[in-house]
Amino acid sequence: MTEQQLKLNLIARTFGTTLMKSGIGMIRSGYEDYEIINSSLRLANDALDKIGLKISVNALDISYYYTTWENWQTIIDVLYGIIKDFKWEAEKFDCDNRSNLMTSLCSLLFRINTCAGLYCEVLNLQTGIKYLHWANIIFTKDGKVYLFDVDNFGKYQQIISSDIIMGQNKYTPISIKIY
């Protein structure tokens, strides 16, 4: 690269980083009124026990931050607006990447780490086709658990039993990755 190209690249990276940090600051400042509970993973495990599931991947964080379902709905609306515009591309940016992105953005933008990856088998109830899939599972401060699936048009619903049906799909959990 020429010296001029290097300078332009530096300017682009600097302004890009500055604008990104500014945007994150704006998003975060609009949601600072969340009541966040610092707690252990026990609350999440208790919620899963009610529906016969366990977190199967060792968690690395010591503290977990929970919020209300009302706050989660706002978070989902903001993040789905971002994630849905990333082009789905098999093996390059597909369901596992989108689930990880949702989890990461929750931590980065909202400082909440109780959105986990849910690895599951999905059965399309209309076609009978089964496939393996990554979605997200969300834990609220009142001990409830919700399924959120970016790839199912951003739908979400409370999980009240191990028989999870959302729209035309039945989700059978295999493992949960929380970090």
Over the stretch 18-67, which tens digit does the pLDDT of each residue have?
656 666 666 666 555 556 666 777 778 888 887 777 775 556 667 788 89
**One-character DSSP codes across 72-89:** HHHHHHHHHHHHTTSPPB
**Is the CB of residue 98 less than 8 Å from the CB of residue 86?**
yes
Residue with more model confidence, 135 or 24? 135
Given 3-state DSSP classes, what are the helix, strand and coil percentages for the chain, each rounded to the nearest 5?
35, 25, 35
Is the pTM value of this prediction over 0.85? Answer: no
Chain mean pLDDT for the chain: 82
The residue ranges of every structural domain in the chain are: 1-30, 36-177
How high is the pLDDT of residue 25?
Answer: 65
Whether domain 36-177 has CATH 1.10.1040.10: the reply is no
